[in-house]
Amino acid sequence: MIKSNNTIFLKLLFTLIVVLAALAPGAAWSQAVLISGRTMSTTYHIKVVAGAGETLGPLRQEIEACLNGISNSMSTFIPGSEITRFNNLQVLGQHFEISPDFSEVLKTAARLHRLTGGAWDGTVGPLVDLWGFGSQARAAGIPDGGKIKEKLALVDFGAIDFCGRNCIAKSHAGLSLDLASIAKGYGVDSVARLIARAGWSDYLVEIGGEIYAAGKRPDGTPWRVGINRPLPGAAPTDVYQVVTLSGKALATSGDYRSFFEVDGVRYSHIIDPRTGYPVRNGVVSATVLAADCTLADGLATALMVMGPEGGVPLVNTMPGVECLIVVRGGDGVLVNHLSRGFGAYSPDPGE
């Protein structure tokens, strides 16, 4: 469940926001100060609206320390990270102490797994690797059915034993965690909380395409975020939908950036943890609005698997959560499926 990120598009969009803010009435009294860098194998861009003469002081260093801490906890590419040490654990039932950050992410992970009926599963990593979308190079053709069945037997988030507030254990041999589909969202939430505690009220945080916005832009209007057109080869600046955000998070997952074709059949990086195969339900993009980005991040991935038939009804039962699921019809036309309240955040939600 690896996400496809439109970071180039977001960079261009944020540059445009800065230019427009500079030209807007009242811009002389405030400006959107950019803090950017790299984290979790992707980029981050943060806008903090500051008044004339105000400086951000040590905020940049605090943000970097926060993100480094999350990476050291949840990155499977760091040998000594918490998640790597848990994955290497060989003794079933052995208690493994985890940090508060790790514990918070796992709480949301457990909720997502339960709400989606297993469409989101943080132990799907072995299948992602098998299909060539993880750390291992993809073999020619598609995986053997026997291999898929073998790896599918290792996917079971329910086999994680929550043995205490900050303690987990394995109850299934070969179990491993990969929280990439919600860790960036948690990073967004953590940085947003840090900025709010520092006294800033107007800001936008983006990590690898996942976003949280608070307050307003320098010109006093809500933050506006573009959703990329979900088509292979679409330019990063090709905006499919514009969403207004304030006090909300947004996350998008799609199948149009990372896929391969064999004999004319396209296989995307979105793997259904219940079947072991890439989804083939026509969904090309799923966007989620929620109060926190951790939930929005993981739920967007789950909706790619569930499709509009299962996804929209689920979202309609979740207070404060909205979604836009885009499906490519047989004629190639993109069809939007919206939750009940999504239109309030987009001036032109489409047909």
> Are 140 and 17 members of one domain?
no
* Residues written for the chain: 351
Q: Are 211 and 299 within one domain?
A: yes
Instruction: Kindly tell me the sign of the dihedral angle through the C-alpha atoms of 104, 105, 107, 111.
Output: positive
Last residue of a domain, one of 146, 180, 214: 180
Q: Is residue 89 part of a domain?
A: yes
Judge if 261 and 326 occupy the same domain: yes
Verify that 233 and 311 share a domain, yes or no: yes
Do 174 and 222 sit in the same domain of this protein?
no
Q: With CA atoms as reference, report the closest residue to 37 among 226, 193, 205, 200.
A: 205
Q: Per DSSP, which regions of 24-105 are E strands? A: 30-39, 42-51, 96-97
Chain centroid, CA 293 distance in Å: 7
> Per the domain annotation, does 75 fall within a domain?
yes
**Tens-digit pLDDT profile for residues 131-169:** 777 766 666 678 888 999 999 999 999 999 998 889 999
This prediction's pTM: 0.87
Residues 308, 314, 317, 319, CA torsion sign: negative
- Domain of residue 76: give its range: 71-180
- What's the structural domain count of the chain? 2
CATH number at residue 152: 1.10.3980.10
Q: How many CB atoms lie within 10 A of CB 138?
A: 15
| Amino acid residing at 195 | I
| 186 located within any domain | no
pLDDT digits 0-9 by tens, 203-251:
999 999 999 999 999 999 999 999 988 877 777 778 899 999 999 999 9
Mapping DSSP to helix (H, G, I), strand (E, B) and coil, where does residue 145 land?
helix
Distance of CA 275 to the CA centre of its chain: 22
* Any domain includes 132: yes
